[in-house]
Structure 1
């Protein structure tokens, strides 16, 4: 007899939880019931999948191989269900991941437009750092991710949406030395001692280091968890930061003392894209949501360029 999808789900839950008790809670069954299913799975496959330890479990080498294949199978099954729901395009349930430096600025506008197109659309949004979102995408927990390029993963497909340029933000006093020649301002002129960044893991922090020509954080550090925190600090004179155009309207409204300057051309920028698994089913839903996200993003960027020519 072949393994069932239920057994595969239980096994993946066990591997993720690291113990029978926590795994049983995750899949909403009793611990003996889950244990029995794992034993049956091992019997059907003819191998031991886990070593039972006093405080948890450890996957055997065959167990690690089965886990990889089980995740792939469950992802494909999830894709099948989503394809059936979206047979008519953008409908059914959509699980969308968005990075934190985009979500609070773009989502309120984009989600309103998406729901206006189809009130039956069930949108589930997860906001997290790029690495976590892409892991969720690969494992089938997300249908698509809105993040910045590049990806460097041949198993993922990206549809570029719009360009989001960076501006220099700080107090008026901090920006005064650059005001003498604003049309020649380059990112490399920003002193590492003044540059404040987000926590490590935020792609925006890595992009800021790259555009300023800095190989590592060195003394460039803060560890702020949000752009709003950075903006509040730099508007009070605690250094400088790079702010994406997407955030300009919201953050300048919250911090009226914030001063901004554009860099000389070519301005540093990030390319935002809608990412999905290569080969996953698509009956038009990705183009439909991509169009909505692009329209919302380009609108916010156009407002930023009018606000700060």
Structure 2
């Protein structure tokens, strides 16, 4: 087989991104360039590597078997590049993915502590939705990812082998309101009272529900603003323009003029923050990062 390094890189990127267009954007290729690389790789492999599905592509069984080998080859090429650059003080590099808003409080504090206690470990990060981060782990472009899990806490994906999942912490959901607003002097509110509020929600995504309106409101919420960025949402709340659902561990990141309320009725709402990585990944640096994340979360 005559498989090129660029072809293997395209295989990994398409497997992670789920579309030729997204892979082209990530690699700086044209879409036709991605198609040519995939065609050349399939010719070398003597088999089809991707199947088209609504909204993108998925690996065929042959593509799934090839992917881990491609990831190892690309990791080795990265190691060669680091060797040629010369020795550095850093012994371990962890490529860490994180869900949106994890970089507001938890991850910066944990990585600062890890840097102080383990200067031999370097961590690079990138944000993404939980499904995209899980695909990136399987594609080999991330070593681990901090993602969220909601009850009943099913497996993160249906692929085999299953990923190793370690619970970092469990957080309760609360409602952020303006201190100067009608609910600002309260410790809690009922779902009926929250139905009358203007809600600030995250953009709707087909692959992953994001925080926004309270999950068990008894009717359709009045959505006034749509924003993914936590700073934007909290700024809108502080200005008295609406309320939004947040995790309790975000309390330290609240701007002045914002309070958190409990929801007094209905089912308790919580989310689990977990760290996922491949089951064959026994790097002690991952273990050190897990310990630091747990300590920071506590």
Give the equivalent residue in structure 2 for 1:72: 68
The 1:45–1:259 alpha-carbon spacing in structure 2 relative to 1, beyond 3 Å, is closer
In 2, the alpha carbon distance for the partners of 1:14 and 1:227 equals 28
- Post-superposition Cα deviations, 1:10-64, rounded to whole Å, max 9, x if no partner, equal 6627968959xx69x769xxx8xxx79975972x5446889xxxxxxxx9x9x95
The 1:178–1:156 alpha-carbon spacing in structure 2 relative to 1, beyond 3 Å, is farther
Give the equivalent residue in structure 2 for 1:291: 291
The 1:122–1:78 alpha-carbon spacing in structure 2 relative to 1, beyond 3 Å, is farther
Checking the alignment, whether the CA contact within 8 Å between 1:96 and 1:145 is kept in structure 2 is yes
Q: TM-score, normalised by structure 2?
A: 0.69
Checking the alignment, whether the CA contact within 8 Å between 1:129 and 1:203 is kept in structure 2 is no
Give the equivalent residue in structure 2 for 1:6: 5
In 2, the alpha carbon distance for the partners of 1:214 and 1:73 equals 50
Give the equivalent residue in structure 2 for 1:226: 229
Q: TM-score, normalised by structure 1?
A: 0.67
The 1:68–1:245 alpha-carbon spacing in structure 2 relative to 1, beyond 3 Å, is same
The 1:297–1:10 alpha-carbon spacing in structure 2 relative to 1, beyond 3 Å, is closer
Larger radius of gyration: 1
Q: How many residues align?
A: 264
Residues 1-309 of structure 1: pairs in structure 2 closer than 5 A: 2-4=1-3, 6=5, 9=8, 12=11, 18=20, 42=43, 45-46=45-46, 66-77=62-73, 91-149=91-149, 150=153, 152=155, 153-154=157-158, 155-176=162-183, 179=186, 182=187, 185-187=189-191, 189-191=193-195, 193-201=197-205, 203-205=209-211, 209-210=214-215, 212-213=216-217, 219-220=222-223, 222-251=225-254, 255-264=255-264, 268-277=269-278, 279-298=279-298
- Post-superposition Cα deviations, 1:142-172, rounded to whole Å, max 9, x if no partner, equal 1111111135325222111112222222123
Checking the alignment, whether the CA contact within 8 Å between 1:199 and 1:205 is kept in structure 2 is no
Cα distance, 1:140 vs structure 2: 1.2
Mark the runs of 5 or more structure 1 residues left unpaired by the alignment.
51-58, 299-309
Cα distance, 1:292 vs structure 2: 0.3
CA RMSD of the aligned region, Å? 4.2
In 1, the alpha carbon distance for the partners of 2:166 and 2:49 equals 39
Deviates more, 1:192-201 or 1:221-230: 192-201
Cα distance, 1:95 vs structure 2: 0.5
3-state SS in 2 of match to 1:146: strand
Checking the alignment, whether the CA contact within 8 Å between 1:98 and 1:145 is kept in structure 2 is yes
The 1:38–1:243 alpha-carbon spacing in structure 2 relative to 1, beyond 3 Å, is closer
The 1:188–1:141 alpha-carbon spacing in structure 2 relative to 1, beyond 3 Å, is farther
Q: Which has the higher helix share?
A: 1
Deviates more, 1:102-111 or 1:4-13: 4-13
Cα distance, 1:220 vs structure 2: 3.4
Deviates more, 1:103-112 or 1:165-174: 165-174
The 1:261–1:245 alpha-carbon spacing in structure 2 relative to 1, beyond 3 Å, is same
3-state SS in 1 of match to 2:133: helix
3-state SS in 1 of match to 2:96: strand
